[in-house]
Amino acid sequence: MQSNRTVIRNGRVIDPSQGIDRVADLLIADGKISEITGSPLERAPDGHDVIDASGLVVAPGFIDLHTHLRDPGYEWKETLETGTQAAARGGFTTLCAMPNTDPCQDSAAVIDDVTRRAARTGAVRVLTIGAITKGRQGKNLAPMGELAEAGVIGFSDDGDPVSDPNIMRQALSYASSLGLPIINHAEERSLVRGGVMSEGEVATRLGLPGVPASAEAVMIARDIELTALTGGRLHVPHVSTAASVALIRVAKSRGLKVTAEVTPHHLSLTDSWVYGLHGEVPETVPPEAYDTNAKVNPPLRTAADVAALIEALADGTIDVIATDHAPHAATDKVCTFNEAAHGINVLETAFGQVMRLTHAGFISLPELIRRLTEHPAAILGAETGSLAKGRAADIVLLDPDAEWTVRPESFASLSRNTPLAGVTLRGRVVATVFGGNTVWDVRTAAAQTEVATS
Ligand code: DOR
């Protein structure tokens, strides 16, 4: 039983929302932040549980704007319980659940069901995203007012685009009157034509049909113009190409209400990962090709795209890092590349993946944290993502330098579909506190993940 008062001692507290970056103690009372001291206290105050953060970073819990929890309908891949446990291990205290469930999240009844069950069984907070169209079929708008009243934080048919421009126009208009964003899966299907990975040299060598970068950019350009037409709010999910970045940059300079997200995998992996050799480019195609765990939509792109995405994240063109956590069962991945499901399991590896950008000098640690906390909170219009006094005590303890090896078999997630198995990452979530309660602490958990001896 945890007491209602806790002190997190001696950590480097980084809270971008308040411009705080100092070694301090953080006090929690009744599930809320009560104080960040000017410097560490000489001794822990009486009656407090103590969490030692010496040598660690203390930051607001991460917020993921884009998570596939698969529940209801695909509970063999993930459930609200396992998905939120995976989130806790990854430092996320708020998830936004995408609506491609079965039944899909296109009615207040399904939203209520997910919200209620998540509150009961979830390790962290689950917010919901409503479908844009009924059944995610792209034909008729879902009851957006009813969904907004039920508490959705935005609308998306993610996994599928809204192809009809007039439906997209209506969606942006209605959502705008509700004060919510449209999150359109940006993919012009007539350009995809059965493509399963990025069009280019790797696809050609592997004999796999490719998807051109313009399949994404064409749809984003359309959506930007419809945003200008309607005055609506557009949030572009999982941006993957340099061309898309250029369009978003111009849209922002026009003053349009456009925000964007990028995933840890699009920031760190290229299409060479499809070879199955952790990104190495072989002289001849090896028997290991292909790694279906590197199949994702949008697909992994070129090194030039990755560089453009990193630059855009650093300069603010891309607002947030979101995981697009997309768990899939072994049977969805142990098959040909063409047959394999799209999606990567990300929640538990995200921080280690994106810390690479900070270690490489592309973005400072406070700015990286801002894109996982303050910026997504601003898009949600939520009070989370901050360690300000009185806010929910959603907190993460990080060791930016700890090296650890990804072992999918010990994930909390029900699925194992990551191309990073066996890869050593530098940057680790040590503990996660949600509403004042510790929901993950690697120091007390049985050796779930092996720390690399370095
Ligand atoms: O790779 C993906 N997987 N991209 C999506 O847009 C959907 C997701 C899923 O639901 O599996």
- Please tell me which residue in 15, 71, 271, 324 is annotated as part of the active site: 324
pLDDT tens string 412-434: 999 999 999 999 999 999 999 99
Question: What SS3 state is found at 438?
Answer: strand
List pocket residues of ligand 1, CB cut-off 6 Å: 68, 100, 158-159, 185, 296-297, 326, 342-343
Q: Residue of the nearest CA to atom 7 in ligand 1?
A: 159
pLDDT of residue 264: 99
263, 297, 325, 346, best to mutate for ligand 1 pocket (most atoms within 8 Å of CB): 297
pLDDT of residue 117: 98
Which CATH code fits 61-380?
A: 3.20.20.140
Interval between CA 128 and ligand 1 midpoint (Å): 16
Interval between CA 327 and ligand 1 midpoint (Å): 9
Whether the Cβ atoms of residue 121 and residue 102 lie closer than 8 Å to each other = no
* Residue 387, CA distances (Å) to 53, 136, 170, 185, 391 in order: 16, 37, 38, 32, 6
Which are the contacts of 287, defined by CB distance < 8 A and separation ≥ 6? Answer: none
Q: Residue of the nearest CA to atom 9 in ligand 1?
A: 326
323, 324, 418, best to mutate for ligand 1 pocket (most atoms within 8 Å of CB): 324
pLDDT tens string 280-301: 999 988 777 899 999 999 999 9
Interval between CA 184 and ligand 1 midpoint (Å): 13
pLDDT of residue 288: 74
Kindly give the number of the ligand 1 atom that is closest to the alpha carbon of 341: 11
pLDDT of residue 285: 84
Q: Is 324 a catalytic residue?
A: yes
Domain residue extents for the chain:
5-58+392-453, 61-380
Does pLDDT of 1 surpass 60? no
Burial class (CB in 10 A: 0-12, 13-18, 19+), 113: middle
Whether the Cβ atoms of residue 413 and residue 366 lie closer than 8 Å to each other = no
Q: How far apart are CA 75 and CA 53, in angstroms?
A: 36
Does pLDDT of 99 surpass 50? yes
Whether the Cβ atoms of residue 114 and residue 421 lie closer than 8 Å to each other = no
pLDDT tens string 433-447: 999 999 999 999 854
Which CATH code fits 5-58+392-453?
A: 2.30.40.10
Please give the radius of gyration of the chain, using alpha carbons only, rounded to the nearest integer: 21
Pairing mode, strands 437-441 and 424-434: antiparallel
Q: Residue of the nearest CA to atom 6 in ligand 1?
A: 159
pLDDT tens string 157-183: 999 999 999 999 999 999 999 999 999
